Chain A
Amino acid sequence: MTSTDWDPSKPILEIENLSISFFTRLREIPAVMDFSCTVMPGEAMGLVGESGCGKSTVALAVMRDLGKNGRIVGGKIKFKGRDLTTMSEEELRHIRGSEIAMIYQEPMASLNPAMKIGAQLAEVPMIHQGMSKHDAWELARQIVADVRLPDPDRIINAYPHQLSGGQQQRIVIAMALMSKPALLILDEPTTALDVTVEAGIVDLVKDLGHKYGTSMLFISHNLGLVMDVCDRLCVMYSGEAVETGNVVQVFDKMRHPYTQALFRSIPLPGADKNSRPLVAIPGNFPLPHERPQGCNFGPRCDYFQQGRCNAADIPMDTVPEGDRHQTRCLKWAEIDWDAPLKARVTKEKAKIGKVVLKMEDLRKYYSVSGSAFGGGMKKVVKANETLSFEAHEGETLAIVGESGCGKSTFAKVLMGLETATSGSIMLFDENVESTPITKRNVDTVSSVQMVFQNPFDTLNPSMTVGRQIIRALEIFKQGKSDEERHARMLELLDLVKLPRAFAERMPRQLSGGQKQRVGIARAFAGGAKVVVADEPVSALDVSVQAAVTDLLMDIQRENGTTLLFISHDLSIVRYLSDRVMVMYLGHVVEMGTTDQVFQPPYHPYTEALLSAVPIADTKVERKRIVLEGDIPSAVNPPPGCPFQTRCRWKSQVPGGLCDREMPPVQVLEGGHQIKCHLSADILARMEPVIKIAAE
């Protein structure tokens, strides 16, 4: 099938001036314009950008799978020298899966729920190489072992839902590798996974890429991940490639204002909410049919020059001294790229006051039925175990952990949506442990409020923004008349820096970041003293994240609010929190000030978590610690220490103590708590995971 005359020193994939549009009943919506990139054999190319920038559309165009409404309106996609855009459906079918394979974001959704894993894997060589069923299954078994899954014989006979998310993603990777493709397209392959699982997948992809010599097109919104995996990258903004080059060059010597703004808005080590705050990109991402004339980034750019940047379409320009480094900026040669950020506002540190919230020995158990049919034994899920901590006025306490660690349950108990099984919650010297929210008085309710994770879910879609804030005011008994409440609502909109005209809008007319701001305004309607923010920015694009985080910090500073910041993202936690609490399977495994937690000694889990978070900084050196396996289920936790199944330090504890006994809480210097059996001297010998190379 493959063209034998293809020269391996030539690019494997060449995209030239590709333009893609989607056609709706009303109009043509250009999704990608004038996009070019080249992938050499064995090279890993990263496509980076915020949601809606067209990076996934490029990938689907390479697969020629744009759906009914999408069409390639210009340019060429050459794969091994042959133009994919003009190929027939039949020719494409021979290339798909055998020469180009794709890996998607949602592993569960990409596997057929009614087919065994083996059958889904074996199908590929059976179609493309005409392999016999027996040989194909044998190969499937081998590849399953290759992607480091335990017990391949069991797995190839399993159905997808019997595997965990991380295992499913490994199967999807195995499927892509079944016929040793020349090009692998990965579309946000780890976004749906936990960080420690993600680290394992990333390692696997890198190793397999080297082993099979596969070229990769790696699509991600995460700059750190791209740095880990790719050799070269291409930054996209609003349907265009704005900068392309090799990873180190683009990271260290970016030549496009958007790339620069992007790096300034992500929390890298060294950023600090008070002394070195993040710089959000002003304005909003343009909608595809509302793109500006000339440079798409123009309206948000610091270096914008009227009459020049918005005059005509801007071509890609080559940066001379770079390695195939190109930028779509007219002024790149004039800008002083090393100039320090002007007018960097340093903010005063908020004062930390008295204790407002104190939890002691909090436990929350759920009983769930044993099987899907409602029968069987009742099982107990221990969502929270002996949770104790206190939070002060004006303080940010971060609660960190991966899925299933019990952080959301904890929030529910605190809010009064669930009642605790035992223990006490003292809120301003009042015990609210067993008081459900319906029994709490208005003052208590209005002083503890929550900001939710999903911006698309946090507002009622069929009520205007103003109405929703006014309702909160009514319930919290704020204002004496409707007029007063209306005025207060407008003030709240000012507080979260939204135009007052938004009061009359419906939530669907708002962007994700704007919705999240309304959610914050609503939470502060009753003058909240304690705000639980459950991953408030994790669903937002990086450039918007910075703005929303800063908003939260500003309001906190003004009101002396206690912020409980629940997150899995350690970068942002390091940036904004005063103290950190790390949770694993319902237990607090480590707690201390931000500095204590991010410096050795660590709890082994914190150590692994720190090492797993990708950091988009070429000067940072990370020690790679990849955890084996998945997070155990809370229904069936391991005996002894909850982390013992994945701990790399386990052998250092004598007598198999980890298997038998729950570790005690060791209180180290400065009130730093670690729940671990490791002896003090071993803890003291731990090395830091992250080192910042001297500049």
Chain B
Amino acid sequence: MLMFILRRLGVMMLTAFALTFIVFSLTNLQPNLEKLAKSEASVRMTDDQVVSWIANNGFDTPMISRYGQWLGVVPGWVKTMEDGEVRGRCIEKGADPAAAPVRCGLLQGDWGVSTVFKKPVSQILGRSLGQTGWLMLAVMLVMVPTALILGVLSGMREGSRTDRVLSTGAIITTATPEYVSGVIFIALFASATVGVSPLLVHLGLLGSPDALFGARKTLFMGTATSAMDHITFWNFALPVMTIALYGIGYIARMTRASMTEVMTAQYIRTARLKGVSFRQVVMKHALRNALIAPFTVIMLQFPWLLNGVVIVETLFNYKGFGWTLVQAATNNDIEMLLGCSVVAVFVVLVTQLISDVGYVFLNPRIRLA
């Protein structure tokens, strides 16, 4: 068992290095650096000036060495300018070059400075991850129990009316990407001109201080910007539902498939013919076996959830991790984008590891074999 986890960890580290190196190379391509030079120094630079700016800022060393510096395993570059100023990766402007550390990278906790936000990357990441954390927590709390319950209910009696209704629902939600469901939700619940809000205003349930749902013009808020300071049901429900909806459908379908498979297993028939009641058959015999597969699925949903987070935070203008990633990517903010990638890759790999190890733990057949 220990060997297994260690091996998984080894593969995971290898994957992490490979992925970060790919991201690093793709963000540090020559055209990106030229663009960076122009945006940082001056848009009207000549080509020669661009080349010297790139060299002066330490971007002219080989990719692998820069990757090492960024990781913090290779000493940061140090250069003496023509005017005698000593510049280096780890030397802050105006500080004493001698006092600066030799290495400064990810391992030393130095994630660089964002060019868009003009602040250290770690600080921005910390704040935005906090925001996204709340969002994810809410999504998980809504998504997982709903999906599992719906999946079990529909897989319990395959082909029944409940099953058909729920399955159709699940297919519809899996066909609805976040940018579609978000648009539909906003049009339905957060538009002052169409959907339910004008109706509620007309009925007097909305739009005046003494109305049932408050003085707002729309039932839900179309943006979640205010949720960054203060989360309420009205400003948070739509983004959460938008992300959760796709996942609910997907996980419910997996759970249903797993449940129907278990329910036709011979040992379920054995239990039934022992005289166990249907309720007990489901609760005691089927459930545990049926939930092994969806557990893996839930964990492997994370890369997709990350997608949802990016779309929803952009759509609802919620300044969390996804929003930051979009800002960094569209503005050529190399250090920020690298930081975001590291977090994303880390989250994905850790959930994969949990999924692998958890699967082994949940399944006695493998655990004790």
Are any A and B Cβ atoms less than 8 Å apart in their complex?
A: yes
- B276 neighbours in A (Cβ, 8 Å): 93, 97, 123, 127
Residue from the list A161, A175, A372, A376 in contact with B274, Cβ < 8 A = A175
Min distance, Cβ B168 to any Cβ of chain A, angstroms = 20
Residue from the list B3, B266, B273, B360 in contact with A96, Cβ < 8 A = B273
Residue from the list A101, A110, A371 in contact with B266, Cβ < 8 A = A110
Q: Across the interface, do B369 and A113 meet the contact criterion of CB distance under 8 Å?
A: no
- A375 neighbours in B (Cβ, 8 Å): 3-4, 7
What CA separation (Å) do A375 and B270 show in the bound complex? 36
Residue from the list B277, B289, B363, B369 in contact with A112, Cβ < 8 A = B289
Min distance, Cβ B365 to any Cβ of chain A, angstroms = 5
Main secondary structure of the interface of A (DSSP, over half): loop
CB interface residues, A 95-131, toward B, < 8 Å: 95-98, 101-102, 104, 106, 109-115, 123-124, 127-128
What CA separation (Å) do A101 and B270 show in the bound complex? 9
A-B CB contacts (within 8 Å), total count: 88
Min distance, Cβ B293 to any Cβ of chain A, angstroms = 13
Q: Across the interface, do A112 and B366 meet the contact criterion of CB distance under 8 Å?
A: no
- A376 neighbours in B (Cβ, 8 Å): 3
With contact pairs A65-B269, A112-B267, A112-B271 given, residues A161 and B277 touching in the complex (Cβ less than 8 Å): no
- Chain A interface: which size bin? 35 or more
Q: Is B159 an interface residue (CB 8 A)?
A: yes
B285 and chain A: residue at smallest CB distance: A112
Q: Across the interface, do A373 and B273 meet the contact criterion of CB distance under 8 Å?
A: no
- B4 neighbours in A (Cβ, 8 Å): 373-375
- B369 neighbours in A (Cβ, 8 Å): 161, 371-372
With contact pairs A96-B272, A104-B266, A374-B7 given, residues A114 and B364 touching in the complex (Cβ less than 8 Å): yes
Q: Across the interface, do B266 and A106 meet the contact criterion of CB distance under 8 Å?
A: yes
- A68 neighbours in B (Cβ, 8 Å): 159
Q: Across the interface, do A128 and B275 meet the contact criterion of CB distance under 8 Å?
A: yes
What CA separation (Å) do A97 and B280 show in the bound complex? 15
Q: Across the interface, do A109 and B266 meet the contact criterion of CB distance under 8 Å?
A: yes
- B274 neighbours in A (Cβ, 8 Å): 96-97, 101, 123-124, 127, 175
Q: Across the interface, do A109 and B275 meet the contact criterion of CB distance under 8 Å?
A: no
What CA separation (Å) do A372 and B365 show in the bound complex? 10
- Chain B interface: which size bin? 20 to 34
Residue from the list A63, A106, A110, A159 in contact with B364, Cβ < 8 A = A159
Contact with A along B252-289 (1 / 0, CB 8 A): 00000000000001110111111111000000110011
Q: Is B1 an interface residue (CB 8 A)?
A: yes
CB interface residues, B 16-71, toward A, < 8 Å: none
With contact pairs A63-B273, A94-B275 given, residues A113 and B7 touching in the complex (Cβ less than 8 Å): no
Q: Is A636 an interface residue (CB 8 A)?
A: no
Q: Across the interface, do A110 and B275 meet the contact criterion of CB distance under 8 Å?
A: no
Q: Is A162 an interface residue (CB 8 A)?
A: yes
Residue from A110, A124, A172, A374 having most chain B Cβ neighbours under 10 A: A110
What CA separation (Å) do A341 and B4 show in the bound complex? 66
Q: Across the interface, do A159 and B368 meet the contact criterion of CB distance under 8 Å?
A: yes
Residue from the list A94, A96, A109, A162 in contact with B368, Cβ < 8 A = A162
Q: Across the interface, do B365 and A113 meet the contact criterion of CB distance under 8 Å?
A: yes
B8 and chain A: residue at smallest CB distance: A373
- A124 neighbours in B (Cβ, 8 Å): 274-275
- A373 neighbours in B (Cβ, 8 Å): 1, 3-4, 7, 360
Min distance, Cβ B288 to any Cβ of chain A, angstroms = 5
B365 and chain A: residue at smallest CB distance: A161
- B289 neighbours in A (Cβ, 8 Å): 112-114
What CA separation (Å) do A175 and B275 show in the bound complex? 12
A-B complex: 9 closest residue pairs judged by Cβ atoms: A375-B3, A373-B4, A97-B275, A109-B266, A97-B274, A96-B275, A112-B267, A372-B369, A110-B270
Beyond the given A104-B270, A128-B275, please list 7 additional residue pairs across the A-B interface where CB-CB is below 8 A. Answer: A93-B277, A97-B274, A97-B275, A106-B266, A123-B274, A371-B369, A373-B360
**Interchain residue pairs with CB less than 8 A apart (30):** A65-B273, A93-B277, A94-B275, A96-B272, A96-B274, A96-B275, A97-B276, A104-B266, A109-B265, A110-B267, A110-B270, A111-B270, A112-B285, A113-B267, A113-B289, A114-B288, A114-B364, A115-B284, A123-B271, A123-B284, A127-B275, A127-B276, A161-B365, A161-B369, A162-B368, A175-B274, A373-B4, A373-B7, A373-B360, A374-B3
